[in-house]
Structure 1
Amino acid sequence: MKQTKRQLAIMNMLQVEKSCGIIDLAKKLGVSDETIRRDIKEMAKFGAVEKIHGGVMLPNTALEAPFLRRLEVQRPVKKRIAELAASLILDGETLLIDNGSTSCYVAKALSSHRNLTVVTNSTEVARDLCARNNNKVYMAGGELRADDSAAYGPTAVNFAKQFATERVILSIAAISAEQGFLDCDLGEAEFKRAILPQTASVIVVADHTKFNRPGVVKVCDFGAVDLLLTDQLPPQSIIDKIGRDRILIA
Structure 2
Amino acid sequence: MEHSKGELRRLKLLELIKAHGKISIQDITGATGCSEATARRDLDALEKSGQIIRTIGGAIYEGALKQSSELPFADKRFFEREGKEQIAAAAADLVQEGDVIGLTGGTTTFFIARALKLHRNITVVTNAVNIAYELAEAEGVQVVMIGGVMRAKSYELSGPLAESVIEKINVTKMFLGVDGVSVQHGFTMHSELEARIAQLMIERANEVYAVFDHSKLEKSALFTIIPLQQATGIITNKPPEDWFRQACRERQVAIHTGEGS
Runs (4+) off by over 6 Å: none
1:185 aligned onto 2:200:
no
1:88 counterpart letter in structure 2? L
Gaps of 5+ in 2: 1-48, 54-61
- The TM-score, its normalising length taken from structure 1, stands at 0.72
Matched residue, 2:247 = 241
1:144 aligned onto 2:155:
no
Q: What SS does structure 2 have at the residue aligned with 1:58?
A: helix
Rate the CA distance shift 1:210–1:118 in 2: closer, same or farther, 3 A: same
Matched residue, 2:91 = 85
Deviation string for 1:111-159 (max 9, x for gaps)?
A: 1101111111111211122342242211111111222332112221221
Q: Distance in 2 between matches of 1:142 and 1:214?
A: 26
User: Which residue of 17, 39, 63 maps to 1:58?
Assistant: 63
Q: Distance in 1 between matches of 2:200 and 2:83?
A: 28
Q: What SS does structure 2 have at the residue aligned with 1:219?
A: strand
Task: Map 1:22-171 onto structure 2 (within 5 A).
Answer: 58-60=63-65, 66-171=72-177
Matched residue, 1:214 = 220
Deviation string for 1:63-96 (max 9, x for gaps)?
A: xx71101111111110111011001101221111
Aligned pairs, how many?
A: 196
RMSD: 2.2
- The TM-score, its normalising length taken from structure 2, stands at 0.70
1:246 counterpart letter in structure 2? A
Rate the CA distance shift 1:208–1:133 in 2: closer, same or farther, 3 A: same
Q: Distance in 1 between matches of 2:65 and 2:237?
A: 26
- Of stretches 169-178 and 150-159 in structure 1, the one that deviates more from structure 2 is 150-159
Superposed displacement of residue 178, structure 1 = 1.2
Matched residue, 1:29 = none
